[in-house]
Chain A
Amino acid sequence: MTQQDVSTDLLSAPEGEAETISDMYLTFVLSDEEYGVGIALVTEIVGMQRIMPIPDMPRYVRGVINLRGKVIPLMDVRLRFGMPERAYDDRTVIIVMELDDAPVGLIVDGVREVLEIPPSQIDRAGQFGRVTQRPVIAGVGRVGERVAVLLDPAVLVSDAEIGIPAAEMLPPEPVPAPVAMPGAEAGA
């Protein structure tokens, strides 16, 4: 099964699961780090396409694609996080999301899976990154031995300076079973 096949299957979840969709996350990888975004905002996953550059955009917005008549700006999440640039390959995918009625595409190294992470398994952020503004990390989800850094898409695609060196964002190894923080469920 190729990466794309996985992604198509991932999104064709059966209807009528509205009560759990807020706990569903699509995880993707950047280098050896795993991240997640809430599935509710994801409209589709597509392979890399021809990008047309657009002026007046920061470097991490690579340009736009024409996806069946929709013009979608693409953000390279590696560049957004200040990680080294990497040539796109056949695993590179675009996660298309709909935020505030505007589509946006995230360029990531590859998608992994759709996970259900209940609020009780999410350590809320606060100590990650700078706390002067709404953080780009909404929390860290524990899935068995792995962790996925859950992102706040609104902050991610905004102009907000996130200014976190990549090294600080996630320990290279899965952390040993973190102790639930007080108020971990509060934000759920």
Chain B
Amino acid sequence: MTSPTPDASPDIGLMRVPSQRIGRLMDLVAELSLSVAETVRSPDLDGLDLGHFDAAVHRLTMIMREVQDVATEMRLVPVDDVFRRLRRMVRELERQTGKSIEVKVIGGDTQIDKLVADRLYDPLLHVLRNAADHGLEGPEERRAAGKPATGVIRVSAAQAGSEVRITVADDGRGLDRGRILAKARQRGLIGPGEEPADGALWKVIFEPGFSTAENVSNLSGRGVGMDVLQTTMAALRGRITVDSSAGQGTSVGLHIPVSLAFLDCVVLRQGDKLFAVPIEVVAEIARPAPGDMIRLSAAGGDELFRLRGRNIPVRRLEEFYAGGCRGAGAGAGVIVVCQSGEGLIAVPVDEVLDRQQVVMKPLLGRLAQVRASFGCALLGSGEVALVLDCERLAPGGSAR
């Protein structure tokens, strides 16, 4: 274990604590903050003159916030714990591929939730294997291309806002557009006449079972690894990005929230149900004027929302959840425009309630069957909202 504060001397004051105990503490802190909110908002206080009380509440709220932050920090570990395990694999990869590989690690001290770190190794290993196996060329091919014989894979991490971005970039041959396109067409992922942009095309390599490697090697090429990556990233509320240029290499980015415990989000109400959307995916909140919503009977009744000349596909919660979320009625309402990998989507709701930091809870047991959700959010009011995953809510997204 490494101390989260770099200035502390390395061998002083470190303690081993079972992660369940920290988990319990996190639960209690969440409980405490909800309890505080309930107390200070008690209807019994209505109409009372509470000068001193209000000052005390202010102090209490400040302390509460700090306790929450400290509890969150307790579970943060440097991402280098994972990177170190990856580095150990490099010799093995060299032996298996017959390539000379150098791994450079940048930003290993970036902090990340222990729960995330624990699940990050397998998907990252798959990305690293792919880079070693498919990305990097053999020594002769590299020399012929005027590159040093040793291929470089850069594994880096950096925090950007409430996200940690982990990038695995190789200096190999880059993705083969022709081959991926041919394979995608053969598998029916892309229509025969379509010419998708690079960014859209690269995404198909994450489709389950997709692999262009002609020889299935021990390392990769079975199309299984990328599937694992996809599943894990969905569970961690993460996003995957791919960038590639021919002859210069491929870079796979994993964008993951720093903490799985707390989430900054916008709270919405639709009918009798509450939903929450992570703040970073909310592009805009708009109130539709008459005529802004266009129904396309030719497309099975799909709707478009016109926003400053753009047509944004509409995803209604009551339709997605099969009538379970009927709203207050047409007309009155707000449109939340969300970012997804498929582009923007417009989600009409009855009301936008609040922006707040919520406590996240996973969907366990029965609740695991709720589609397009990361989990439940405990609101300051004690209510529970469902956190929407716009990737899976998007019309093109997999409706799981």
Q: Which residues of A contact B (CB under 8 A)?
A: 50, 52-57, 61, 64-66, 68-71, 73, 75, 99-104, 157
**Residue B180 lies at the interface, judged by CB distance under 8 Å to chain A:** no
Q: Are B366 and A104 in contact (CB-based, < 8 A)?
A: yes
**Cross-interface CB contact of A69 among B34, B322, B325, B366, cutoff 8 Å:** B34
20 additional A-B pairs beyond A52-B384, A70-B27, A101-B365, beta carbons within 8 Å, are A52-B274, A52-B383, A52-B385, A54-B370, A54-B386, A55-B317, A55-B324, A55-B386, A64-B376, A66-B382, A69-B27, A69-B34, A69-B359, A70-B361, A71-B364, A71-B376, A73-B365, A99-B365, A102-B366, A157-B365
- Residue numbers in A under 8 Å from B109 (CB-CB): none
**Cross-interface CB contact of B384 among A61, A71, A102, cutoff 8 Å:** A71
- Residue numbers in B under 8 Å from A64 (CB-CB): 367, 376, 384
A and B contact pairs by CB, cutoff 8 A, 5 listed: A52-B273, A52-B384, A55-B273, A69-B30, A102-B367
**Residue B351 lies at the interface, judged by CB distance under 8 Å to chain A:** no
- Residue numbers in B under 8 Å from A55 (CB-CB): 273, 317, 321, 324-325, 370, 386
- Residue numbers in B under 8 Å from A103 (CB-CB): 364-365
- Residue numbers in B under 8 Å from A54 (CB-CB): 273, 367, 370, 386
A56 with B376, Cβ < 8 A, contacts A69-B27, A102-B366, A157-B365 known: no
- Residue numbers in A under 8 Å from B321 (CB-CB): 55-56
A104 with B365, Cβ < 8 A, contacts A52-B384, A55-B273, A66-B383 known: yes
**Cross-interface CB contact of B31 among A61, A68, A73, cutoff 8 Å:** A68
- Residue numbers in A under 8 Å from B371 (CB-CB): 56
Tell me whether chain A's interface is mostly helix, strand or loop, or mixed.
strand
Q: Which residues of B contact A (CB under 8 A)?
A: 27-28, 30-31, 34, 272-274, 317, 321-322, 324-325, 359, 361, 364-367, 369-371, 376, 378, 382-386
User: Can you name the residue of chain A whose Cβ is closest to the Cβ of B371?
Assistant: A56
Most B C-beta atoms less than 10 A away, residue of A53, A54, A103, A157? A54
How many angstroms between the C-alpha atoms of A61 and B27 in the bound complex? 25
* A-B contacts, CB under 8 A, total: 75
How many angstroms between the C-alpha atoms of A153 and B256 in the bound complex? 37
Most B C-beta atoms less than 10 A away, residue of A55, A75, A99? A55
- Residue numbers in A under 8 Å from B27 (CB-CB): 69-70
- Residue numbers in A under 8 Å from B383 (CB-CB): 50, 52, 66
Most B C-beta atoms less than 10 A away, residue of A56, A70, A102? A56
Q: Are B365 and A102 in contact (CB-based, < 8 A)?
A: yes
- Residue numbers in B under 8 Å from A66 (CB-CB): 34, 378, 382-384
- Residue numbers in B under 8 Å from A50 (CB-CB): 383
How many angstroms between the C-alpha atoms of A65 and B361 in the bound complex? 12
- Residue numbers in A under 8 Å from B274 (CB-CB): 52
How many angstroms between the C-alpha atoms of A181 and B371 in the bound complex? 46
**Cross-interface CB contact of B366 among A53, A61, A65, A101, cutoff 8 Å:** A61
Interchain nearest-CB distance for B371 vs A (Å): 6
- Residue numbers in A under 8 Å from B366 (CB-CB): 57, 61, 73, 75, 102, 104, 157
Interchain nearest-CB distance for A173 vs B (Å): 35
How many angstroms between the C-alpha atoms of A66 and B378 in the bound complex? 8
How many angstroms between the C-alpha atoms of A54 and B325 in the bound complex? 9
Interchain nearest-CB distance for B80 vs A (Å): 31
How many angstroms between the C-alpha atoms of A56 and B319 in the bound complex? 11
How many angstroms between the C-alpha atoms of A66 and B358 in the bound complex? 13
- Residue numbers in A under 8 Å from B361 (CB-CB): 69-71
- Residue numbers in A under 8 Å from B31 (CB-CB): 68-69
Most A C-beta atoms less than 10 A away, residue of B317, B361, B371? B361
How many angstroms between the C-alpha atoms of A104 and B368 in the bound complex? 12
